[in-house]
A and B are shown apart, each in its own frame.
Chain A
Amino acid sequence: MINLQNTSETINHLLRTFRLLQKVGRKHPEVRKHEILFYQLLEKYFTRILNAREEGNFIATHTTFMPGEILYAMDIVPMQTEWTSWILALFTKRGTDFISEGRRLGLTNEVCSAQRGIAGAFSLGTLPRPDAVIWSNLICNNIAKNGELIMEINRCPGFFLDHPLGDSAAERNYLRGEIEDMIHFLEEQTGRKMDWDHLSDSVAGTMKQIEISRQICELRKAVPSPFHPQEFMEMLTVTYLFQGQPEATEYLEMLYEDLSLSVSEGRGAVSPERFRVMSIFLSPIYRAPFLEKFSQEHGMVSVAEPIFTQWEEGKLDPTRPLDSLVQKLYMLPERSLYSPVGERTLKKIVDCAKEYKADGAIAYADVACQHTCALIKLFKDVLNDIDVPLLILDCDLVDQTVTSEEDMREKLEQFLELLEDR
């Protein structure tokens, strides 16, 4: 029996699982190349974390929307808090332990289980101890307020990157200053200097990834739509973990090729395609296999996730890497949740529903994610105006005890019946 309290045993367990999944995938011709690459990349990411100490590398743990390009350019080993702990929770089945430990630390149910789980995973020693924490307030209070606790648990220094709410010139300038200060902090902590050429290359990589992501979105407009639910989580994972790196570009290119082929052959992700839905917010990570199966059984396909896959307009200029990182943080699809949510975000939701010919929309209402749930009524109203019904599905991103699969199935089936009757 593996001792999952032990970091290296835990990671080795993960690595074995990822290798096995690649092996199984290679034996089955119907498994597409990008699916195998996904596990290969996870293996690579966790191997770097596992070997960091031995190789004398510096580990910086960072929250979701931190510009990871900076870490790669400084040869720092990135450890993304949310995705790393979720992957751990998923593959070790210890999500509940992490969440309970977070509660023991004083993070009561008001704090989303995602952040409780992260603190718990660090506290239990399941995640490796980082050398520094860098975190920000993008995109919620829970992320912002967890940083000091993670610093305390790991007894390591940290840098908080403060995102302004709006996007005036002064606010953009402030964000640029914050990024500069963070680079100075990392230089001091690591004793290394920023490699600006490497940073420019990473920014070019990010621009490339944004372009491919936009092309993938275009492909998803096809009827039938070629994108599987599990591809959404995989795509997010790879682009969050390898920001601006060739690995993410390779993955996206492969995905794009696979989807293009499906479109040219008129093959949809589900057959026959009966319901085109738009997904608002994140679906529970651990229900991805269920959603895949359900989609196949019912001919339901998610055609768009406006808040996660739709980049805002704009370009990055690798010759001006800092300005480009600021620009990227303003172009992030998820940022539309942060700025005062007004006409622009509402228009994005409505346009998306029209352009992707959505029959309905599903809002995954994470029971402790306040700022997302507080938008459901607004989104429901604007979608209602264009006759696109919205299903609210109460759930929890990480805590499996909140909604059962049966509950989800029942609500989804009722919703599809409603769509069918129209």
Chain B
Amino acid sequence: MRRGSYRKSPARGTNDTMTRTSSEGKKLTATVLNIQRMSTEDGPGIRTTVFFKGCGLACAWCHNPESISGRPQVQWIENRCIGCATCVEACPEGALRLDGSGMTIDRDICTGCGICADVCPSTAMELLGKEWELEMLVREVEKDRAYFEQSGGGITASGGEPTVQAPFVSEFLRHCRERGLHTALDTCGYASRRSLEAVLPHADLVLFDLKIMDSEEHRRRTGALNERILENLLFVRDFKKGSGRPLSLWIRTPLIPGATATVENLTAIAGFIAENLAGSVERWELCSFNNLCRDKYRRLGMEWEFQDTPLLSRSSLDELVEAARKMLPDPSIAQWTGAPRVEKEAATVHTKGHLKLVKGCATC
């Protein structure tokens, strides 16, 4: 990955400040967290998903807590560390301490300059959020064109919240589309109208999150009321109708135990879809809670409310989807995805276990 100089910008949610022009020219850059190739979960086909850093919401369950802040952040991956303490010596702020219990990053002092990551021999210190120039990013995502073409896939702009970096993201998607690549915008909906207006014309698909219908509860869990999100969703619907070109809309709801994953909430979301979006939504994905991000919180020095929350069982997932479907004019649009809790009886599913013997032939 290419990295330019590091930007020190306000923490989060301030639109447009994420994108800047560099001093040497007029090149657009963005802060990108990760580029995931051969992604099969972010829209149709095989996709390259670009995770843009920075989000206006701060959902209590967020699975990518490193994507919330628009600033570059550093993290320490313990099993890569060889204990050489090169980073400790290199840190200009003296923000790092390495002892028997591991690495401590003083986040009050750390500026996210990334010098520790630059000098770390083993990539145990990692800078989350790197500057990408538009042209470089377009070239990078175009590498999998052959797979996009064969699968009906393309590019997904995700995050964080990609519209936070709207000037860059709209240009990025425009360039992708001009090159014949299918484009998707994965948004939490918490965006300024201006940002949405900039990005939507360059998207072939919108993946729109609807989390909680009760606005107060939404604020309690995500930090913001949901009115703007709902308005934006209707705006997307109207834009789709008026755009005169194919634009797909998928809704996504994370199923978080004790938060979003209640029959009442899903019934309410289904009701909103039935009332306002019938015929406009092709798919509603109910994404099952998982806990794989637990270590991310620990590495960022953050508490996580869902630390010990068990995964949803298959039967409760079925029950939730059933409740959601009841309200929908076209129930087939709703489906759950993800991993349910491991249940003992599931072992019998593994009928062809003996076939594991067939590994890659060692001789050739």
Specify whether A and B are partners.
no
